[in-house]
Every structure is written in C-alpha cells, then in structure tokens.
Amino acid sequence: MAKFNSHISMLFIVVALVCAFVPVYSVDDNEAKSSWDTCIVKISPKCALDIITVVFGNATITDSCCHDLVQEGKVCHDTLIKYIADRPALIACESQYLKKSDDLLAHCVTISKSA
C-alpha cells in the first residue's frame, strides 16, 4: 500500500509541475498547448504514472498499460514525455529519457501485436 501511495504522490507532483510549467513554455505555441490538452486525457492516470516511472525511473509496465500507450499514439506519447523532459531539473538527461521513451513505445507495440 505504501508503494501505491508513493506512486500516487509522484503522479500528483509530476502533474503539478507540468501544469505549472507548460503554460509558461507554451504561451506562444497554441498548437503545442492544444496537443497537450488533447493527449493528456487519452490515458488513465494509473497508466500515465506507470509510463512516467518507466521513462524517468526504473519501473516496469503492465501489458494493459502498454495497450493504452499504443492506443494513445506516438505523437501524444512523445508530446507528453517531451514536456516533462524539458523541465530544467531533467533537461541534462533529456536524450536518455527520450531514448527510454522510444524503447518503451517499441516494447508496447510488440506487446500489442502479440495479444
């Protein structure tokens, strides 16, 4: 239960940071903001947390979240991960996070095709 609570706490922190910084970085880019708003609702909070912990941590993802990720699509997935990876605290490792993101999506596509 403690692990679940820490994951929920992490999700709220990430969402709060993203909500705080996205408007600042996207004021001149309405299209990117619109894409963010459209993509964020395409995946459940639990799967979003799982994806974030895989890309920005060392977790594994369930098959059901893999299916959700594939349904979300590459453009939305890339948009969401890029917004988070662009934060000042994470930018130094951005290329590592983007590679992990691509690897995760490739893994999930394979899982989806085999189901």
- Return all residues near 100 (Cβ < 8 A) that are at least 6 apart: 54, 55
Enclosing domain of residue 21:
1-114
What does the pLDDT read at residue 22? 46
| pLDDT given for residue 1 in this prediction | 54
Q: CA–CA separation, 19 vs 101, rounded Å?
A: 20
Predicted pLDDT at 84 = 86
For residue 30, the 8-state DSSP code is H
Q: Is pLDDT at 96 greater than 60 in this prediction?
A: yes
* SS3 label, residue 57: coil
**CA 68 to mean position of chain CA atoms:** 12
Number of domains in the chain: 1
Instruction: Using pLDDT thresholds of 50, 70 and 90, give the confidence band for residue 25.
Output: very low
pTM (global) more than 0.75:
no
